[in-house]
Structure 1
Amino acid sequence: MKVAHVIRHIHFEDLGLLAPILAKHGYHYHYWDVGVDDLTELEQMTPDLLIILGGPISVNDIDAYPFLAMEQRLVGRQIASGRPLLGICLGAQVIARVMGAKVEPMTSREIGFAPLALTEAGDQSVLAPLAEAEAVLHWHGEVCQIEGQLPALACTPACTNQAFLCGSQILGLQFHLEVPLQGFERWLVGHCHELASINTDVAAMRAAAQRYLPRLEPIAREVFHRWLTQCAHQNTGLTGPGGDVST
């Protein structure tokens, strides 16, 4: 059984609907909780799949959060191994930073449900099902620019690079496809101060989640399924050591 090692920064920003999709693709998964687990142990492994989830900090804040340097080393090792790597929000920014990208503040934070436009490259990628999505969940205040390296797969008026793909194995998503409706309330509670700081109508955001997430979930599952299938085809026959597994 393959093992997906998952770096989690906040407990409620978890795998969400990605967890059962990993199982269908033959993965157990193991969470590494920042501030609780020793990431140096992960550095001794070669994950079959490495996933770095989101969190409310900047990848540029290494002095304040030294574990970000460890995450960048882990990403560098994973890229060198040729094995699959997925970054969501902060995770995507960690990957982009390792690949030489600038990660810079946007003019305003992008939080809430809004449409996503696929680029021509995005239309030809595993993100193609998102052409049918009315809106996706955005929750970030920075943008990564991989100038001259990888084309953006999706964009919004506020953020020119919402997703990137390097080969078949490395996927970065600035937005949150992994979040199901069940459990979304935890986001509203956990990020209450941030929402208040930008005068968010929490009731309206809850209503938007109830409207969009049930329609988005099957599309999100298909995106993740396509990417994992693509990785499997590219990575057939490649196996490696794993750690203790919890599901």
Structure 2
Amino acid sequence: MLNFDEFPDTVYAIQHLAFEDLGAWEDVFYQLGLRVRYFEVGVDDLTKAYEHKGLTVILGGPIGVYETEDYPFLQQEIDLLKVRLEQNLPTLGICLGAQLIAHALGAKVYAGHVKEIGWSKLTLTQVKNNPLVVLENTEVLHWHGDTFDLPVQAELLASSALYPNQAFRVGENILALQFHPEVAADNLEKWLIGHTCELRKAGIDIPTLRADNQKFASVLESTSGQIVQQFINNIQSN
């Protein structure tokens, strides 16, 4: 159990899509003595979540960072996130969350050359105390069409065969992950249902993806929680 005398005991999770939640990581937070509170984008006022002094996790979703005209709440998110990052508050972004962090740090976010949907291994960058080392030789779930340039102040942590920028950090308090390490094995059928239009448009074979989910998700679930634990430990030691 961590010592939270000076660290808020609630994780705020910003949710862009109902079934893209903290997944297996929710139990990890509970085991560490942390509570979880969700904020629904487009419904809730996000100010409290982005001004939170403890850990805020920005989750994934199917919209693009640059679609602010169609989704005006994105601009509010970006503006609040810029202030949060300037204050170096503990922030973890997954998929769209990582893209939002990259954009808020001044990097370009744009449509990639191909949809990256499915399971594959990462190529980890040889940097000191890489928090993703537990995923070496582990298949992880990718589910994105957009990508981003590496922010100038960031340290690259991982790449994939299709995209060079899969994860980065800024210091010890800001971590951005393009892939999905948080997924729970028993929840992925919701993804196949909810993203059916995207899957069919991208020409993804759904039975094959389902079989890969069943093959790889439980392995990822059993190891990826260590990323959260190390991230929080590093925040605590700062």
TM-score by length of 1: 0.88
Corresponding residue of 2:170: 166
Corresponding residue of 1:20: 27
| Shift of residue 153, structure 1, vs aligned partner | 0.9
| Shift of residue 157, structure 1, vs aligned partner | 2.1
> Where do 1:1-247 residues align within 5 Å?
2-42=9-49, 45-121=51-127, 124-133=129-138, 135-234=139-238
Q: Does the 8 Å CA contact 1:7/1:34 hold for their aligned counterparts?
A: yes
Task: Give, as a single letter, the amino acid of the residue that structure 2 aligns with 1:215.
Answer: V
The CA distance in 1 between the partners of 2:31 and 2:47, in whole Å, is 29
| Shift of residue 42, structure 1, vs aligned partner | 4.2
| Shift of residue 34, structure 1, vs aligned partner | 1.4
Q: Per chain length, whose mean CA-contact separation is higher, i.e. which structure has more relative contact order (CA < 8 Å, sep 6+)?
A: 1
Relative to structure 2, which stretch is displaced further, 68-77 or 154-163?
68-77
Relative to structure 2, which stretch is displaced further, 219-228 or 75-84?
75-84
Task: Give, as a single letter, the amino acid of the residue that structure 1 aligns with 2:10.
Answer: V
The CA distance in 2 between the partners of 1:191 and 1:94, in whole Å, is 21
Q: Does the 8 Å CA contact 2:92/2:174 hold for their aligned counterparts?
A: yes
Q: Does the 8 Å CA contact 2:14/2:49 hold for their aligned counterparts?
A: no
Task: Give, as a single letter, the amino acid of the residue that structure 1 aligns with 2:14.
Answer: I
| Shift of residue 132, structure 1, vs aligned partner | 3.5
Which ranges of structure 2 fall in alignment gaps of 5 or more residues?
1-7
Identity of aligned residues (%): 38
How many residue pairs end up in the alignment?
Answer: 231
Task: Give, as a single letter, the amino acid of the residue that structure 1 aligns with 2:215.
Answer: R
Q: Give SS of 1:110's match.
A: strand
Relative to structure 2, which stretch is displaced further, 169-178 or 99-108?
99-108
Write the deviation string for residues 53-102 of structure 1: whole angstroms up to 9, x where unpaired. Answer: 00001101111111111111222232233321000000001011011111
Task: Give, as a single letter, the amino acid of the residue that structure 1 aligns with 2:61.
Answer: G
Which ranges of structure 1 fall in alignment gaps of 5 or more residues?
235-247
Task: Give, as a single letter, the amino acid of the residue that structure 2 aligns with 1:65.
Answer: Y
Corresponding residue of 1:241: none
Q: Does the 8 Å CA contact 2:12/2:39 hold for their aligned counterparts?
A: yes
The CA distance in 1 between the partners of 2:72 and 2:19, in whole Å, is 22
The CA distance in 1 between the partners of 2:87 and 2:36, in whole Å, is 19
**Residues 147 and 35 of structure 1: is their aligned pair in 2 closer, same or farther, counting only changes over 3 Å?**
closer
| Shift of residue 41, structure 1, vs aligned partner | 5.0
| Shift of residue 20, structure 1, vs aligned partner | 1.5
Q: Does the 8 Å CA contact 1:3/1:47 hold for their aligned counterparts?
A: no
